[in-house]
């Protein structure tokens, strides 16, 4: 195809092949394919179903409790638990506060950990790469799909909580943490904003899981490692003697989303949280890229 004497010139490039793309293309088609693939897996659907079940269980428990004692919780338990009986909308905040420390990051860890390693394990990775998906392009598409799952998982919890709250409890004006009140419509907007912040809070885990996923050809090992790292980070964050470490651990600022329930909104904690997530995404994303683009694909 290349003319005999031609070096790597434009002429040789133009003669390269019949099906060569004109220029670089944004991976929109591949991203769609990745997202469709992720959500067609049974594993993904089961995870979403489990996440959606959590608020239902919390809601039923609170309903039974409040019916029996007539006064709701006694101040112990997860954040906002006491307010649920008075306003079903608080079930959204409670459910997110309950699932964010463990259930949501575990689910994200499973999806992210499997993203590359799972395809390496089944061998489909080599066919994607000779397609040629392009290693950077594939990694970007994988991260995009995991990010979409972060949002889907959060929405599964939030919408299930909203539905459960609406069925089991009254809805109405909500009383914020500082005592001011908002109409229901504005409250729903706050709930949506909380869900968005929670979804963004998971991006650090998503990038970490994707990096782990590029290290091995075993999807199970990558999932287990990622989930293990999530739990380890949570434990380390909870040890008072390791306080100095806390601000650098990705779960440290997670519950700052509660600051959205103040009037005016208190942004500092959330800014720190999202900044930390961005750092984790950048560092782990770069590591994943460095590893994946230089790695021998032998599976």
* Binding stretches for other proteins (CB under 8 A): 1-5, 7-8, 12-13, 15-21, 25, 27, 29-30, 32-33, 37, 40-42, 122-124, 126-134, 137-138, 294, 296-298
Which residue number, 16 or 167, has a Cβ lying nearer to other proteins? 16
Beta bridge pairs of residue 182: 174
Q: Are 112 and 180 a contacting pair, CB within 8 Å?
A: no
| Cβ 39 to other proteins shortest distance, Å | 11
Reference 114, options 43, 203, 187; nearest CA is: 43
Structure tokens at 285: 């994303």
CB atoms under 10 Å from CB of 240, counted, come to 6
Which residue number, 25 or 173, has a Cβ lying nearer to other proteins? 25
| Cβ 177 to other proteins shortest distance, Å | 45
Measured distance CA(200)–CA(220) in Å, rounded: 25
| Cβ 117 to other proteins shortest distance, Å | 14
Measured distance CA(284)–CA(293) in Å, rounded: 14
| Cβ 155 to other proteins shortest distance, Å | 23
| Cβ 236 to other proteins shortest distance, Å | 33
Measured distance CA(134)–CA(108) in Å, rounded: 24
Which residue number, 100 or 120, has a Cβ lying nearer to other proteins? 120
Which residue number, 33 or 263, has a Cβ lying nearer to other proteins? 33
Which residue number, 15 or 239, has a Cβ lying nearer to other proteins? 15
| Cβ 210 to other proteins shortest distance, Å | 18
Q: Are 198 and 100 a contacting pair, CB within 8 Å?
A: yes
Which residue number, 216 or 263, has a Cβ lying nearer to other proteins? 216
Measured distance CA(193)–CA(201) in Å, rounded: 12
Measured distance CA(153)–CA(44) in Å, rounded: 9
Angle between helix 203-215 and helix 184-201 axes, rounded to 10 deg: 30
Which residue number, 9 or 180, has a Cβ lying nearer to other proteins? 9
Strands 181-182 and 174-175: antiparallel
Structure tokens at 14: 């133009």
Measured distance CA(214)–CA(181) in Å, rounded: 48
Which residue number, 257 or 289, has a Cβ lying nearer to other proteins? 289
| Cβ 119 to other proteins shortest distance, Å | 9
CB atoms under 10 Å from CB of 244, counted, come to 7
Structure tokens at 277: 């997530």
| Cβ 17 to other proteins shortest distance, Å | 4
């Amino acid at each position: 195809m290349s003319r005999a004497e031609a070096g790597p010139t434009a002429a040789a490039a133009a003669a390269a092949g019949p099906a060569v793309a004109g220029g670089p293309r944004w991976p929109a088609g591949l991203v769609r394919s990745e997202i469709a693939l992720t959500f067609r897996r049974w594993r993904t659907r089961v995870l979403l179903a489990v996440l959606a079940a959590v608020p239902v269980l919390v809601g039923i428990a609170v309903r039974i409790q409040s019916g029996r004692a007539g006064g709701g919780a006694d101040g112990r338990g997860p954040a906002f638990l006491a307010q649920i009986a008075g306003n079903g909308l608080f079930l959204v905040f409670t459910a997110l506060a309950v699932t964010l420390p463990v259930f949501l990051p575990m689910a994200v860890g499973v999806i992210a950990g499997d993203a590359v390693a799972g395809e390496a394990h089944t061998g489909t990775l080599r066919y994607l790469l000779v397609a040629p998906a392009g290693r950077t392009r594939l990694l970007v598409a994988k991260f995009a799909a995991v990010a979409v799952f972060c949002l889907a998982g959060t929405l599964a919890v939030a919408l299930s909580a909203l539905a459960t709250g609406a069925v089991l409890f009254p809805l109405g004006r909500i009383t914020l943490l500082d005592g001011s009140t908002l109409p229901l419509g504005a409250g729903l907007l706050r709930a949506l904003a909380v869900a968005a912040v929670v979804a963004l809070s998971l991006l650090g885990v998503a990038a970490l899981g994707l990096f782990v996923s590029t290290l091995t050809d075993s999807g199970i090992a990558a999932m287990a490692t990622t989930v293990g790292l999530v739990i380890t980070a949570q434990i380390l964050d909870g040890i008072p003697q390791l306080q100095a470490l806390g601000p650098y651990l990705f779960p440290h600022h997670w519950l700052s989303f509660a600051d959205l329930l103040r009037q005016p909104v208190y942004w500092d904690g959330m800014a720190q949280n999202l900044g930390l997530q961005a750092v984790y995404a950048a560092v782990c994303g770069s590591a994943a890229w460095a590893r994946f683009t230089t790695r021998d694909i032998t599976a």
